[in-house]
Amino acid sequence: MLDTTLHDHEFANFRQMIHRIAGISMSPAKKALVAGRLAKRLKHHGLSSYQDYFHLISKRQDELQVAVDLLTTNETHFFREQKHFDFLRQRVLPERVPGRPFRVWSAASSSGQEAYSLAMLLADQLGEAAWEVFGSDISTQILAKARAALYPIDQTGEIPAAYLKAYCLKGVGGQAGQFTLEPALRRRVSFQQINLNERLPQVGEFDVILLRNVMIYFEAETKQQVVARLVERLRPGGWFIVGHSESLNGLSHGLVAAQPSVYRKP
């Protein structure tokens, strides 16, 4: 018989697991979210309790990744926090080094809306110059959605009209009710699974790194470690952008505050 109750000791196990793997600190208020997101996996495997599912993910790496995907997926949308895109257009891009490829990292790219928003901005401002957008996330499932680049048509309302006309394609047939991005734009965007809570792979240096609306889930020590890893990948003179509700206060980072939520590497 299925026990649909997520007991406190079971919730504690999942909290410890996601903190160990992703550095995410889940408050007691997230108990219902954890129960809801994992319930379908219990049903899928014919398990009778959350404790049985925890035992399963302790033994199977593939199912552990599924659990991590379910518990780390966060909401995002196109051109979220518009002021950051205005800052990139008005301040950052005019100061770029001519002739050098301009690289931007969306360090918690989720389903890709941030990365493609950046790509539309760069395509508009830099045209055929050398530029690229790199997106990363811990969730393989959400990265598959980012690479597919298919979004509900109601999300077009978040995209500036000129960009919608220039870079977006309305789905037809089996893709009716959805839209995608123009192929040339998508070729400038790549995605890779990266756990920011671990040693970073060799991905090169970047002119801009965005780590927005992620640190709110981290404890102070995890924030310090993640920011230090990413700052190492930032070119001198490069920009580090966090969410409007976040800051690097209390952290050792070696960056200079340019305005709230925006920092620069000397």
Condensed to tens digits (0 to 9), the pLDDT of residues 116-143 reads 999 999 999 999 999 999 999 988 888 9
Three-state secondary structure call for residue 242: strand
> Can you tell me the distance from the alpha carbon of 145 to that of 168, in angstroms, rounded to the nearest whole number?
16
Q: Are 235 and 204 in contact (CB under 8 A)?
A: no
- On the question of pLDDT at 66 being above 60, the answer is yes
Instruction: Pinpoint the residues of the chain covered by CATH 3.40.50.150.
Output: 82-264
Question: With 70 as the cut, is the pLDDT of residue 15 above it?
Answer: yes
Q: Are 165 and 159 in contact (CB under 8 A)?
A: no
pLDDT value, residue 89: 97
- What confidence score (pLDDT) does residue 3 get? 59
b/e sequence 184-211, b meaning 16+ C-beta within 10 Å: ebbebbebeebbbbeeeeeeeebbbbbb
Topology (CATH) of 82-264: Rossmann fold (3.40.50)
| pLDDT-based confidence at residue 193 (cuts at 50, 70, 90) | very high
As a whole number of angstroms, the distance between CA 109 and CA 69 comes to 13
Average pLDDT over residues 152-175: 93
Mean pLDDT of 79-99: 95
- If we measure between CA atoms, which residue out of 186, 58, 176, 47 comes closest to residue 116? 186
Helices (H), 173-219: 183-186
Classify the C-alpha dihedral 157-162-163-166 as positive or negative. Answer: positive
- Evaluate whether 84 touches 210 at the Cβ level (below 8 Å): yes
4 has a pLDDT exceeding 80: no
Contact 79, 159 (CB under 8 A): yes
pLDDT of the residue at 2: 56
C-alpha to C-alpha distance for 220 and 253, rounded to whole angstroms: 13
pLDDT confidence of residue 25: 78
pLDDT computed for residue 84 by the predictor: 97
Q: Are 162 and 148 in contact (CB under 8 A)?
A: no
Q: What is the pLDDT of residue 215?
A: 81
CB 230 within 8 A of CB 211: yes
- Cβ neighbors of 1 (< 8 A, separation 6 or more) are 48
Q: Please give the mean pLDDT across all residues of the chain.
A: 91
Decide: residue 67, CB within 10 A, 0-12 exposed, 13-18 middle, 19+ buried.
Answer: buried
Alpha helices of the chain — where are they, by DSSP H? 8-22, 31-45, 50-59, 61-72, 82-87, 113-126, 140-148, 161-167, 183-186, 220-232
Residues 6+ apart with CB under 8 A from 232: 200
Catalytically active residues, by annotation: 37, 137
Fold (CATH) for 8-72: Chemotaxis Receptor Methyltransferase Cher; domain 1 (1.10.155)
Q: Where does CATH 1.10.155.10 sit in the chain?
A: 8-72
Residue with tokens 């659990």, as numbered in its chain: 67
